[in-house]
Amino acid sequence: MRLDPRAPLVLDTRELGRRPGSQRRMTFEEPAPADLGIEVLRVPEGSPVRFELRLEAVMEGVLVTGTAEAELEGECVRCLEPVHDEIVVDFQELFAYEDSDTAATSDEEDDEARRMEGDLLDLEPLLRDAVVLTLPFQPLCQDDCPGLCPDCGARLADDPGHQHDEPIDPRWAALLEHQHDQQDQQQDQQHG
């Protein structure tokens, strides 16, 4: 599949002229692609992602260094309250020229070295990897979120003194029933 030069996250590096040492700084904003993040925390599709990048031509390709900033939305894993946050991810990645030997002969760990297509490079897979690596996998609405009441599901952070009039724990229920029986017996004796 060839890259589309008009795609929002595809950069054209022609200006660098493949001259090692030539550089270009770029600051731009693009809408977030779909499915950026993990199930419980993601960058909303279409929300702005702000990039600040430096592209630098090196022998084997183009080195991309910089940051991307984006909004996050998700759910607290303890109480399911919506979580809103921001993320800043750092990049430093070499995109090898298509015809570069360096990347082709690199060891197995580097097998997935990113490649350019002609003068084009695609930031999207780089952005995806960086975002997923940076996200907390257990988002919380607050660090000490007490979660939900195990009996009724109420959010304990909203109601810290949360209690139930009728204890629902079966051991308590049994104890209460026993007390009621004793009261009944006492009443019977009084009437008798």
Nearest to 88 by CA among 30, 47, 131: 131
Please report how close the Cβ of residue 85 comes to Zn ion at its closest, in angstroms. 13
* 152 part of the interface to Zn ion, by CB under 5 A: yes
Give the CA diameter of the chain: 108
* 83 part of the interface to Zn ion, by CB under 5 A: no
Query: Rounded to an integer, what distance in angstroms lies between the CA atom of residue 14 and that of residue 39?
Result: 37
Stretch that binds Zn ion, among 2-10, 19-27, 77-85, 109-117 (CB under 5 A): 77-85
* 149 part of the interface to Zn ion, by CB under 5 A: yes
Comparison of 104 and 168: residue with beta carbon closer to Zn ion:
168
Residue 75 and residue 92 in contact, taking contact as beta carbons nearer than 8 Å: no
- Residue 109 is classified by DSSP as G
Stretch that binds Zn ion, among 15-23, 51-59, 81-89, 176-184 (CB under 5 A): 81-89
List 84's β-bridge partners, or say none: 73
Please report how close the Cβ of residue 41 comes to Zn ion at its closest, in angstroms. 13
CB burial of residue 130 (10 Å; 0-12, 13-18, 19+): buried
State how far the alpha carbon of 18 is from the alpha carbons of 61, 65, 155, 178, in Å: 8, 17, 58, 86
Choice from 154, 168, 173, 175 touching Zn ion (CB under 5 A):
154
Stretch that binds Zn ion, among 19-27, 68-76, 105-113, 177-185 (CB under 5 A): 68-76
Total number of residues binding Zn ion (CB under 5 A)?
10
- Which residues are within 8 A (CB) of 85 and not within 5 positions of it... i.e. 6 or more apart? 41, 71, 72, 73, 74, 139
Please report how close the Cβ of residue 162 comes to Zn ion at its closest, in angstroms. 5
Residue 95 and residue 61 in contact, taking contact as beta carbons nearer than 8 Å: yes
Comparison of 67 and 138: residue with beta carbon closer to Zn ion:
138
* 141 part of the interface to Zn ion, by CB under 5 A: yes
Comparison of 150 and 192: residue with beta carbon closer to Zn ion:
150
* 145 part of the interface to Zn ion, by CB under 5 A: yes
* 104 part of the interface to Zn ion, by CB under 5 A: no
> Which residues bind to Zn ion, rule: CB under 5 A?
76, 78-79, 81, 141, 145, 149, 151-152, 154
